Amino acid sequence: MQVSRRSMLTILAAMTAGPAALAQTTSPVRVRGTIDAVMPTAISVTTRGGETLTLQLADPVSVVWVVALPMDAIQPHAFIGVTSVPGEGGARKALEVHVFPEAMRGAGEGHRPFDLAPDSTMTNGTVGSVTAASGRTLTLAYKEGEQRIFVPESTPVVTFQAADRSALTKGAHIVGSATRNPNGTLTIARISVGKDGLVPPM
């Protein structure tokens, strides 16, 4: 299945947007969890915090796979996103890295707050220098500046592949941002699904 660059940009921008960007839409809710049931127009999800949610599926709904990569996929000139927290010696410490397909270069470029962990940020940019020693220390440049980030060897590294609704199966791990409707229900238009049992790390 082919997914257009515009569709992928929409999916990934929503997935990696920080709280400030999300606040500009109608009551967004970040959802990270496991699918319990799939219905014709909705999915039931247990979140990582133990809450059970019913998510109405937008028509159409966009779906992408999240696929594991080796650490050496982090190379100079790659366009990547990194969730990180304050680290030692002036470098931030990566919690996860997602390597964008080349067609997605520029998606969500910048450095902003993120909600994966306390004091976490999301940085999307181009890899400059990379030093490999017990992990990776890299510079990540974006339009407004750059960050120095240490990526421990244990850090999950992933990328994205085209998928469709058939990826939404019981037991699949997902991440996405839903919209809270005036009646309190939740609708989700873009979903990232861990492939082969992967838990999306972002």
Residue spans per domain, the chain: 5-67+160-195, 68-158
Q: How far apart are CA 26 and CA 196, in angstroms?
A: 33
136 against 45, higher pLDDT: 45
Contact (CB, 8 A) for 166 and 157: no
| 101 contacts 160 by C-beta, under 8 angstroms | yes
- pLDDT at 153 > cutoff 60: yes
> In the predicted model, what is the mean pLDDT of residues 170-197?
95
Q: What is the mean pLDDT of the chain?
A: 88
Per-residue pLDDT for 15 more than 70? no
Q: What is the pLDDT of residue 26?
A: 57
Predicted confidence at residue 81, as pLDDT, reads: 97
DSSP 8-state secondary structure symbol assigned to residue 15: H
* Mean pLDDT, residues 54-81 taken together: 95
Please check whether residue 142 is in contact with residue 110, taking contact to mean a CB–CB distance below 8 angstroms: yes
Fold of 5-67+160-195: OB fold (Dihydrolipoamide Acetyltransferase, E2P) (2.40.50)
Q: What is the pLDDT of residue 27?
A: 53
Q: Is the peptide bond before 60 cis (omega within 30 degrees of 0)?
A: yes
Q: Which residue has the higher pLDDT, 14 or 167?
A: 167
DSSP designation for 24: T
Per-residue pLDDT reduced to its tens digit, 21-37: 433 445 579 999 999 99
pLDDT at 132 over 70: yes
Residue 139: per-residue pLDDT? 95
Residue 169 pLDDT > 80: yes
Bridge partners (DSSP) of residue 148 are 139
112-135 mean pLDDT: 91
Q: What is the mean pLDDT of residues 107-126?
A: 95
* 157-162 vs 92-99, strand pairing mode: parallel
Q: List phi, psi (to 5°) of 111.
A: -130, 125
pTM: 0.82
Kindly state the percentage of the chain with pLDDT values over 70.
Answer: 87
- Residue 3 reports pLDDT greater than 80: no
